A and B are shown apart, each in its own frame.
Chain A
Amino acid sequence: MSTLRLIRKAFLLATRSKRRFITFTVFYASLIALTAFFVNLAFKDWLAHIYFGPNTIFMIIVLGVSTFMSVLYALIIVSNRKTEIATLKCIGWKNGHIWILVSGEIMAVTLIAFIIVVEVFFHITSIAAYILAISRPTSQVQAIVVVQFVPIVITFLFMLGVQIAGILIANRKILKVRPIQALQKIA
């Protein structure tokens, strides 16, 4: 019960830090869109047994950038919340509880960014399908799908995976925050 509550509170805290939340959601959404686009292209290559073509390489590059963003976001969260983390430790939160809070914030941004990207892809596909439907035969509809379903699922799993780096870094930083820091003034 308490774990679910902490996850809910993590989402709440993420959305209330408006500037940071919006900035990183936009960044993540852009990265997810790019990743999905290249995964879609790379997927077609893999089906044609081309495993390390340029599309796969671009996909790996974008995943690398996503991993970097995940680590950066984790560092920013822990750095900005250092006094809060120390205070929570003073009032009895364990490292594990704080880890759920910080990891929840990271995952909240990832999930919301992913939903936004999927929603945008649906809208683009719907608009394009509508235009084609009124001007061309419906057999052309398949060609206008921006990203196929399987690459979307692969992208989602990849993005969850790259968050692990950020979550591990956040965990290391959380362990280093001493409760006594809550009693010291930040210069």
Chain B
Amino acid sequence: MLKAENVNKDHKRAGEIIRALINVNLEIYAGEVAVIQGPTACGKTTLLNVLSGLDMPDDGKVFLDGENISRATEARLSTIRRQKVGFVFQDFNLIDALTAEENVEALLWPESLTSKDIEKRALAALRDVNLLDRKDHSPRQLSGGEKQRVAVARAIIHQPRVLFADEPTGNLDPESGNSLMDLLVKLNKDYKTTIVIVTHDEKIAQKYGKKRIRMDKGAIISVN
């Protein structure tokens, strides 16, 4: 499903070169729930960005479903994101001017589908995250946990092969965080979606990570 081969990535900050990823080799199989954990600034988010095609490695290759995405064009990456990949961000990143339903639909607006079809899928996704009764509310009217569930609904409306989540519980209280993680695990069971989560929360990693990838200083130190 996802494979990283000898991936290296540097960042330039204030004239200094920071080695964010050092010779990373990793394989995540279809249907797994993988948790990438480690201390702050260990390279977790950089690894997520590279695995998802949001960022390009300086060296090495990244394969998604057998396709080398580390050298794909931006147009091809856009198509891959729209068809195979879902994202859940720590800060939800919902569009305030749109309702919950419209935020979920937004992913499919560029597709050649009828509006009815898009609406049907959005409602199904909101049903999966138990938020159908709040579909006409704007993000400002939703709690943090509800916003994150809308974000998850947006991430699954197109039934992606893999869902990437960067600290999805980072801005939630513990109860909402656990509820969200239960939801992600349920989606993994129901739809066999591969889930890759970045977290610094040891409890989340222990409870939900079927595959735990520990990182430190840009390198993977263990996979179990």
Contact = CB atoms under 8 A, between A and B. Distances in A.
Contacts of A93: 78, 82, 110
Contacts of A92: 78-83, 85, 107, 110
A9 B102 CA distance: 10
A8 B125 CA distance: 23
A183 B154 contact: no
Given A2-B109, A13-B97, A183-B49, A89 B166 contact: no
Contacts of A87: 89, 93, 95
B45 interface: yes
B107 A183 contact: no
A90 B87 contact: yes
A173 interface: no
A13 B99 CA distance: 11
Contacts of A185: 91
Interface in B77-129: 78-83, 85-87, 89-91, 93, 95, 97-98, 106-107, 109-115
26 contacts: A1-B113, A2-B109, A2-B112, A6-B110, A13-B97, A13-B98, A83-B93, A88-B106, A90-B54, A90-B93, A91-B81, A91-B107, A91-B154, A91-B155, A92-B79, A92-B82, A92-B85, A93-B78, A93-B110, A94-B75, A95-B74, A180-B49, A182-B89, A183-B89, A183-B90, A183-B166
The list of the 4 closest CB pairs from A to B, nearest first, reads A92-B82, A92-B81, A16-B97, A87-B93
Interface of B: 45, 49, 54-55, 74-75, 78-83, 85-87, 89-91, 93, 95, 97-98, 106-107, 109-115, 154-155, 166
Interface of A: 1-2, 5-6, 9, 13, 16-17, 83-84, 87-95, 97, 179-180, 182-183, 185
